Amino acid sequence: MAGYTTTNPTTGRTDKEFTTLDDAGVKDVLDRTHAAFPEWRATSVDDRATILMQVADAYDARADELGRLIATEMGKPLKQAIGEAELAGSIYRWYATHGPELLQDEQLDPQGAEESLVQTAPIGPLVGVMPWNYPYYQVARFVAPNLMAGNTIILKHAEICAASAGVMAEILHEAGVPADAYLNVFASHDQIAEMIADPRVRGVSLTGSERAGAAVAENAGKHLKKSVLELGGSDPLIVLEDADLEQVARTVATARLSNAGQACNSPKRMIVPNARLDEFVAAVVEVFEGATVGDPLDESVTVGPLSSIGARDGVAEQVARAVEQGATLHVGGEALERDGAFLQPAVLTGVTPDMDAYAEEIFGPVAVIYGVDSVDQAVELANDVDFGLSGSVWGTDLGRAQEVADRLDVGMAYVNEHGTTLPGLPFGGVKRSGFGRELGRWGMGEFVNVRLRRTSAA
């Protein structure tokens, strides 16, 4: 069985263990979500919207409590954690506000008939497999549009997020979502695979690693199920010659340290003109050296622990291997000599295509900075990885920056910002970063039956 625990990454101690689903429970979960679907889909769109609005209100009212919970579970600094809870609430609020309109019937040109009408209908029970790095936000991205559409949900959260998973279920049920329309399960990977294979389950959404995504996609494809995958990223960030280099360096260094660098769309690879490389590196190093690493419940702390000792050690090993292979380490990269999963933020340069760090995702507080001689070289470097989640371009000539951004092979291209996520904007990538989209009207369209009803005269 999967081990669902609250293991505080600040102390390294396991504070609570949770009872996992037994094999007999799998059938019960499937029976319940299937039985709940007809009633939930029959609930009026306006009533579903009212419930989601109450969910949003609960996230806002409980933001401090929710923030403290995940700071303890996975180490997010408190201000960031509270902000994530508020962001999740805004997603439920967006779908409560815009969902009814998105689900309205659409009249088409009749094209020779009395009527050609497109209807949007739910498809049935769905499985969501969620990661630990944004416990509330990533659940909201999946759950809000699909509950609004009338689907029922089986939600498997990460093993280290059992407590926050339980609170999310509590909030949904107290707001009016029927108990069996949203089922939080502490299930093993094999049990989730069994659920995905069941004919009553109609789709699966996963946010996580490439390995997990490949396994879920294979299982879903084998059983002809729709899947949406949001996987890893090694996002490029291109700084143009006309950028305010000092300001950009400080802004993106701070962004890279957010959530201890544990974000799929964090600016992991920073690409700068060679003529200003040393200046940029010095500014990033200054920010990294000045970061306060410590207990995420301390409001003065800007970088908390990584999610676990194992995660911390994995990132430290990636940095050490890069140095062994010839990269230059300017600061950090070592585990701190204290309890918990703390790592000194690191800056690397001199990474070349023959090094592991060139192609792999480093999921921690590590910036890899490259120098280039031209914009063409910058774009080639930016696109020369298997990932394609997001990327950004920074410069004062907005037209030129937009032209460069349009050359990035990513699902989300930004100019003078990086990683912005808002409820009405699509989120998703290309290549090995996955497929499908979440948020906005696009997130509402993934797990629905876009059904044509055409009527001709008798």
Q: Give the Cα separation of 47 and 150 in Å (integer).
A: 11
Per-residue model confidence (pLDDT) at position 1: 38
- Domains with residue ranges and CATH for the chain: 5-231+433-455 (3.40.605.10), 236-425 (3.40.309.10)
Q: Give the Cα separation of 175 and 433 in Å (integer).
A: 34
Catalytic residues: 230, 264
Q: What is the pLDDT along the chain (458 residues), one digit of tens a residue?
A: 348 999 999 999 999 999 999 989 999 999 999 999 999 999 999 999 999 999 999 999 999 999 999 999 999 999 999 999 999 999 999 999 999 999 999 999 999 999 999 999 999 999 999 999 999 999 999 999 999 999 999 999 999 999 999 999 999 999 999 999 999 999 999 999 999 999 999 999 999 999 999 999 999 999 999 999 999 999 999 999 999 999 999 999 999 999 999 999 999 999 999 999 999 999 999 999 999 999 999 999 999 999 999 999 999 999 999 999 999 999 999 999 999 999 999 999 999 999 999 999 999 999 999 999 999 999 999 999 999 999 999 999 999 999 999 999 999 999 999 999 999 999 999 999 999 999 999 999 999 999 999 999 99
Per-residue model confidence (pLDDT) at position 402: 98
pTM over 0.95: yes
